[in-house]
Chains A and B, each alone.
Chain A
Amino acid sequence: MTTAPVTALEVGTVVAEREVHLTRDSLVRYAGASGDFNPIHYRDDVAASVGLPGVLAHGMLTMGLAVQPVSEWLGHRGVVVRFGVRFTRPVVVDPEQGATVGVVAKVGTVDADGRPQRIDLTVTAAGQTVLGKAQVTVAFR
């Protein structure tokens, strides 16, 4: 984990990147941890009956994992003060293959000292962006 002091960075600099492989087990684990037991997140028959292309990851699971590379990068040096997303596309999780979610975190804006203030996330699955306006505002301690 990064512990070096945060220095000035240019807008657009990538501060963290990560790929997370989701399986159906991941969805069941998240259902239990969060209390969201909507069956479209674990039952193919229910997903199909409401016209979905397959079982979907919880939007809040995608959101929750997307901020982790930023938390890791921050380490002890700062905290997340705001995190917001739009859910633009679902992440379909194949029963055998799962799904891979990619996260790239870039500097969106900088403070008066040139340090990152807002980190913008690009979150993709199957080659498409799945979250819109995924922005993390950080404060250094």
Chain B
Amino acid sequence: MSVNPELVGRTFPPAQPYLVGREKVREFSRAVFATNPIHHEPEAARAAGYDDVVAPPTFAVVLQEATLAQLLAEPDAGIDFSRVVHGEQAFTYDRPIVAGDELTATLTVTSVKTLGGNAMVTAESTMNDAAGEHVVTATSTLVVRGDDA
């Protein structure tokens, strides 16, 4: 099985809207050793000009996960999950995610490359708030090891 090059440019249906909860932000913040009080204390976040606690920069991965699952489940994608390694990751923010945000993530495959026996698949999850404004794009490059690798 090899990765289908025709995936490039494919956009998936938007994931279910995700409501960012204060306690989820706190839980994630503890898990990534986030110490800045704006991630834990609503008062500190408000003093910094936010409505509620602010999610750490990698929080968007929680929403991205659901969109990548769509890609891996795509019948003609040719991606064997047991051979997938996370190669690269980036987040590009227009503004930080704040508790209370309702975000909708939409995945687009932007590149499929073959290198040696491996395939590199790059996909972007674009996350917009309830007003339709862009908040963050999470970009992942997955390395799919070839049969002989």
Contacts and interface: CB of A to CB of B under 8 A. Distances in A.
A43 interface: no
Interface string A19-55: 0100000100110111110000000000000100000
B96 A82 contact: no
B33 A68 contact: yes
Contacts of B65: 34-36
Given A87-B87, A87-B88, A34 B61 contact: yes
Contacts of B93: 79-82
A65 B33 contact: yes
Contacts, number: 102
Q: Which of A64, A67, A74, A84 has the most CB of B within 10 A?
A: A64
A83 B7 CA distance: 26
Interface string A59-85: 111011101100110111001111111
A44 to B, nearest CB: 18
Given A35-B65, A83-B57, A20 B31 contact: no
A36 to B, nearest CB: 7
A60 B89 contact: yes
Interface stretch (B35-43, B71-79, B109-117): B35-43
A4 interface: no
Contact of B31 (A32, A74, A81, A83): A32
Contact of B89 (A29, A80, A87): A87
B28 interface: yes
Contacts of B92: 81-82
Interface residues of B, number: 35
A20 B31 CA distance: 12
Nearest to B35: A72
A86 B90 CA distance: 9
A112 interface: no
A30 B59 CA distance: 11
A74 B38 CA distance: 11
Contact of A79 (B32, B89, B96): B96
B32 A65 contact: yes
B64 to A, nearest CB: 9
B74 to A, nearest CB: 20
A13 B40 CA distance: 29
A140 to B, nearest CB: 13
Contacts of B30: 29, 33
B86 A59 contact: yes
A33 B58 contact: no
15 contacts: A26-B31, A30-B32, A33-B27, A35-B62, A36-B65, A50-B82, A63-B58, A64-B61, A68-B35, A76-B47, A79-B95, A79-B96, A83-B58, A84-B90, A84-B139
